[in-house]
């Protein structure tokens, strides 16, 4: 049986990348970024609050950290819920101790189910970043644009109403996207997105509306990846976190400002014995002179101020 002629048709077959979201560039060849106060590194602390439905589906895949036992999986459900009841407050206490700004990634379901938690975050002047509806609603090309737009709209509306602040940042559940996600985010006022994991600095991504800034939320060395996927120890997480900061701090002297994101899943890093390692990591990074502690909005605004002159 011969292949139909359209099988070999590929509209983006050409030299270069297979999309027009952004032009390729080497990080070391880009203009220098100078953070406020002459800081080398912007420290971006990002606690993550998630809600995993008991009846969550695996469409088109099971979200990272998703429930795996037969319904009702109370063992894993309550373990994840620990982060919203206990773990996040342990992290917040450390942020208070070291007077650190933060951006918290929040499923909209958290605002609906734990309104007092949202009030606590807002009272601490923490930026609220959209993290989808919940961990059972992924973004993928099996959804129509209308369905996906409704997910984004509902997520942003719920969080904005609960937090009293417009939602400018976004992290999709499981970093999942469809072909239309960026266009939909731009249409709903999102200014920066953290789904793509291919850089150490922000860059503009073209959409059908306003450009959306891709922000470098580290993927391979976040707490869930290191401790659950790679099965490394807490000592390994601490060493890798320090090493990552050290490299960025050195590179910044030569190439300009860098961003040190610190993803902290409340149900993972908020348990008692891990909080000790988090405290040491925060002490180490904040103990350097040329560190600017900032929210995602602050970093995005400063980056754009310097690159859109």
User: Is residue 248 pLDDT above 80, yes or no?
Assistant: yes
Inter-residue contact 290 to 40 (CB < 8 Å): yes
What's the pTM value of the predicted model, to 2 decimals? 0.94
Distance of CA 281 to the CA centre of its chain: 19
* Residue 174 preceded by cis peptide, ω within 30: no
**What's the average model confidence in pLDDT over 71-81?**
95
Cα–Cα nearest to 260, from 276, 249, 270: 249
The three-class DSSP label of residue 104 is strand
E strand map for 28-107: 41-49, 103-106
In this prediction, residues 100-110 reach a mean pLDDT of: 98
pLDDT for the residue numbered 11: 67
| 8 A C-beta contact, residue 31 and residue 256 | yes
pLDDT at residue 294 is higher than 90? yes
Confidence of residue 307 (pLDDT cuts 50, 70, 90): very high
pLDDT at residue 18 greater than cutoff 80? no
Q: Mean pLDDT over residues 144-157, rounded? A: 98
Where residue 245 falls (left for φ over 0; alpha for ψ -120 to 50; beta otherwise) is: alpha
Picking from 17-26, 94-103, 169-178, which range would have the lowest pLDDT averaged per residue? 17-26
Average pLDDT over every residue of 37-44: 98
pLDDT at position 5 is 76
**Helices (H), strands (E): how many in the chain?**
11, 9
Q: What is the pLDDT of residue 16?
A: 72
> What domains sit in the chain, N to C, each tagged with a CATH number?
34-307 (3.20.20.370)
């Amino acid at each position: 049986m011969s292949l139909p002629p359209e099988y070999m048709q590929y509209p983006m077959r050409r030299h270069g990348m297979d999309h027009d979201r952004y032009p390729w560039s080497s990080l070391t060849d880009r203009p220098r970024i100078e953070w406020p106060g002459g800081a080398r590194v912007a420290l971006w602390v990002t606690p993550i609050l998630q809600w995993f439905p008991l009846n969550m589906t695996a469409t088109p895949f099971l979200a990272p950290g998703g429930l795996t036992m037969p319904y009702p999986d109370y063992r894993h459900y309550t373990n994840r819920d620990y982060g919203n009841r206990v773990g996040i407050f342990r992290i917040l206490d450390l942020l208070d101790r070291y007077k650190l700004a933060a951006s918290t990634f929040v499923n909209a379901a958290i605002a609906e189910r734990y309104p007092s938690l949202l009030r606590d975050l807002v009272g601490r002047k923490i930026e609220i970043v959209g993290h989808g509806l919940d961990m059972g609603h992924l973004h993928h090309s099996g959804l129509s644009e209308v369905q996906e737009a409704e997910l984004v709209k509902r997520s942003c509306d719920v969080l904005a109403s609960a937090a009293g602040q417009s939602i400018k940042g976004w992290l999709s559940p499981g970093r999942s996207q469809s072909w239309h996600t960026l266009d939909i985010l731009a249409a709903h006022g999102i200014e920066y997105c953290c789904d793509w994991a291919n850089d150490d600095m922000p860059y503009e991504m073209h959409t059908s509306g306003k450009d959306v800034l891709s922000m470098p939320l580290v993927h391979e060395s976040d707490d869930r990846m290191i401790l659950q996927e790679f099965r490394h120890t807490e000592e390994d997480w601490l060493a890798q976190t320090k090493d990552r900061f050290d490299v960025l701090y050195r590179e910044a002297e030569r190439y300009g400002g860098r961003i040190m994101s610190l993803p902290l899943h409340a149900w993972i890093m908020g348990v008692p014995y891990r909080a000790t390692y988090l405290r040491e990591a925060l002490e180490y990074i904040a103990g350097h002179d040329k560190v600017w502690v900032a929210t995602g909005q602050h970093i995005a605004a400063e980056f754009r101020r310097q690159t859109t002159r």
